[in-house]
Amino acid sequence: MKNLLIILALLMIASVAIQAQEVPPPANKPDIELTEDEATLRINQYLQVVQDLERRLNDANVKVDGLKAKLDDVNKQLRDCEEETKNLLGATDADIAAFKQRLGVIENKVREMQRLSDSQLADRQEEVMQLEADLNELRKNKLSLIPEFYNKIISLAKDIKGLYREKKITTYTVGTWAENRDCLWNIAGKIEIYGDPFMWPKIWQANTDQIRNPDIIHPGQVLQIPVKGPKSSEEIRAERTYWRMKKEAQAENDAAVQPGVN
């Protein structure tokens, strides 16, 4: 009986403690429906969140201040390095400004040409080559060793390489042998055509309607020029047939000029 009374007493104490415990209202309960005690608890929750955020903000500000100090130190080291570099190169601020301006002119021209179409670029290859020559001239200047300029020059060199285009030649008008030395071999060897005389069968096979013998072409003929690329199987076969017939004709000619055998 005594033990039972003790248990009952403990249960009553626990019940009172549970009732006295502050239990926050459900998070989805609207503010307008809160009791005074629940509203007080919710306000305290918000205050706790605000305090936590303020503490985290203060910690972040401390870290930011530390990073700013490091950045200031790095910038100072960079300025000292730049000043030392200028002294080593024997350059003045005016020299650096003039170099920067020249580099900027090239950069602007490169950006302008990057907006052109392939056909437009093909017509302005001399300008591209001049840009490359101007940049190479700047490269010879000791100021190009300054990191700011060095990295930009490397980048511009790549950009200029990307501006080169081959002008597409679709037709070619045959000139005279005396003035132009035009034959299929020489025409194929022209830089603006194929840059490779061994590609002459491509021109021959594209113009069989007006070239029966590839050894003979006439001034004024307008020849179709196929797109640059490897010889096709048909062009290779035609070339082999041509050389075989040349060899047979040469053998017959040699036999004809040999003295008779008694």
Task: Express each pLDDT in 164-180 by its tens digit.
Answer: 987 676 899 999 999 99
CA dist list (Å): 257 to 80, 247, 248, 249, 262: 89, 16, 14, 13, 15
Report yes or no on 68 lying in a domain.
Answer: no
> Which residues is 173 bridged to in the sheet?
222
* Domain enclosing residue 212, as ranges: 171-252
Does some domain include residue 11? no
Single residue among 105, 130, 161 that ends a domain in this structure: 161
pTM, entire model: 0.44
Domain presence at residue 179: yes
Q: Which of 11-25, 79-93, 202-216 has the lowest mean pLDDT?
A: 11-25
Alpha-carbon distance values, 85 to 143, 145, 149 (Å): 9, 9, 13
Last residue of a domain, one of 130, 161, 192: 161
Over the stretch 183-194, which tens digit does the pLDDT of each residue have? 999 999 998 899
- Tokens representing residue 155 in the block: 């980048």
Q: Residue 191, SS3?
A: coil
d(CA 179, CA 197): 19
Q: Is residue 148 part of a domain?
A: yes
38-42, 173-177, 193-197: which range is least confident on average?
38-42
172 touches 193 (CB < 8 A): yes
Same domain, 177 and 132: no
Report if residue 89 sits inside a domain.
Answer: yes
